[in-house]
């Protein structure tokens, strides 16, 4: 086969174009630190990247849900703790007043303090997180407790407030008002107040109410235990989600990110090859008559 000058020129230009294309690809990878810039560069890498990125976004969304979950359980636990302190104080006052040496004036002072503590318990039961009531199940925009002359009316809504903290895993983050602040509790506190109204009140009249208070305080402890157990599980799930994020980020990086040191080395080599190709090409292409005419 006869090799002509035009064939040499054509092949050299084709090879130079391929070299420049390779040089451009490596330069783009160094600038972006990504293996591809568009799906057509490598469809397999692009499709895997979509799957890996979706997994990473799911984990990040679950991590945002953890903040919401912590707010619910921590505010709930804090409210229950304040309720326990109020109940402790009521019990302490009942024990003190059970002493028959207390006169009417002292019992009136005790009654006034217990009235305030009852109102405080109502306020705690109506604790809000943002614009949501913590203890009214799914009816988060409605007060769960309203004080009355005989105690208080308590919402019966026991709906579960659940947050998805892992794929397909929903955790309840609330306690219903009927569990934490039952109507019987407010009724018994009101009985103490009513009992202190009478000058003839004896220590035995008040002592009989202590057992009821103890039952409600035990209910408070049970509610706090439930919240504590959920808090512990949320912490464990958060630690697992953090590990999942690390793994998902690593897999995504391995799929899309370049080995920077390797790419820089390849770019340097390609630059040398391209310069050599230009130098050799200039020797291959011989001057033609047209070159002299120009």
**169-172 and 145-148 beta bridge pairing:** unpaired
Residue 290's pLDDT band, with cuts at 50, 70 and 90, is low
Residue 229's pLDDT band, with cuts at 50, 70 and 90, is very high
Q: Say if residues 113 and 120 touch (Cβ distance below 8 Å).
A: no
Q: Per residue in 3-62, pLDDT tens?
A: 666 666 677 777 777 878 787 777 877 877 787 777 777 788 888 888 888 888 898 889
Q: Where are the domains of the chain?
A: 5-33+258-293, 52-252
Residue 256's pLDDT band, with cuts at 50, 70 and 90, is confident
Q: Say if residues 235 and 69 touch (Cβ distance below 8 Å).
A: no
Q: Per residue in 143-200, pLDDT tens?
A: 999 999 889 999 999 899 999 998 889 999 999 999 999 999 999 999 988 888 775 5
Look up the CATH number of domain 52-252.
1.20.1330.10
pLDDT, averaged across the chain = 84
* Cβ partners under 8 Å of residue 191, min gap 6: 209, 212
Q: How far apart are CA 271 and CA 190, in angstroms?
A: 89
**Looking at 52-66, 131-145, 279-293, which range is the least confident one?**
279-293
Q: pTM for this one?
A: 0.74
Q: Say if residues 186 and 118 touch (Cβ distance below 8 Å).
A: yes
Q: Per residue in 107-133, pLDDT tens?
A: 888 889 999 999 999 999 999 988 899
Q: Say if residues 252 and 53 touch (Cβ distance below 8 Å).
A: yes
Written as six digits, the tokens of 217 are 């305080």
- Selection from 188, 198, 205 nearest residue 108 by Cα: 198
Residue 292's pLDDT band, with cuts at 50, 70 and 90, is very low
Q: What are the start-end ranges of the H helices in 137-182? A: 177-180
Transcribe 150-161 into DSSP letters.
TEEEE-------
CA separation, residue 126 to residues 19, 120, 144, 153 (Å)? 73, 10, 6, 12
215-238: b or e for each residue (b if 16 or more CB lie within 10 Å)?
A: ebbebbeebbebbeebbeebeebb
Q: Say if residues 35 and 42 touch (Cβ distance below 8 Å).
A: yes
* Cβ partners under 8 Å of residue 45, min gap 6: 35, 36, 255, 256
pLDDT on residue 293: 52
Q: How far apart are CA 134 and CA 254, in angstroms?
A: 44
How many Cβ atoms from other residues are within 10 Å of residue 242's Cβ?
A: 13
């Amino acid at each position: 086969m006869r090799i002509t000058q035009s064939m040499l020129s054509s092949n050299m230009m084709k090879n130079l174009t391929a070299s420049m294309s390779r040089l451009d690809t490596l330069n783009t990878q160094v600038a972006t630190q990504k293996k591809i810039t568009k799906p057509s560069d490598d469809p397999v890498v692009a499709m895997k990247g979509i799957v890996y990125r979706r997994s990473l976004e799911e984990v990040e969304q679950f991590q945002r849900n953890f903040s919401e979950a912590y707010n619910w359980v921590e505010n709930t636990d804090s409210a229950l703790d304040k309720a326990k302190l109020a109940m402790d104080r009521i019990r302490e006052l009942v024990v003190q007043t059970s002493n028959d040496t207390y006169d009417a004036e002292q019992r009136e002072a005790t009654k006034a303090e217990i009235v305030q503590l009852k109102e405080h318990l109502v306020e705690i039961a109506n604790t809000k997180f943002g614009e949501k009531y913590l203890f009214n199940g799914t009816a988060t925009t409605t007060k769960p407790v309203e004080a009355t002359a005989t105690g208080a009316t308590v919402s019966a809504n026991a709906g579960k407030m659940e947050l998805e903290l892992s794929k397909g895993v929903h955790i309840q983050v609330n306690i219903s008002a009927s569990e934490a602040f039952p109507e019987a509790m407010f009724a018994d506190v009101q009985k103490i107040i009513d009992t202190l109204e009478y000058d003839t009140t004896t220590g035995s009249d008040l002592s009989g109410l202590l057992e009821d208070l103890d039952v409600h305080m035990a209910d408070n402890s049970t509610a706090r235990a439930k919240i504590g157990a959920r808090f512990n599980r949320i912490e464990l799930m958060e630690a697992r989600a953090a590990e999942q994020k690390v793994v998902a980020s690593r897999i995504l990086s391995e799929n899309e990110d370049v080995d920077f040191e390797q790419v820089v080395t390849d770019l340097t080599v390609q630059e040398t090859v391209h310069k050599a190709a230009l130098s050799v090409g200039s020797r291959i292409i011989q001057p033609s008559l047209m070159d002299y005419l120009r």
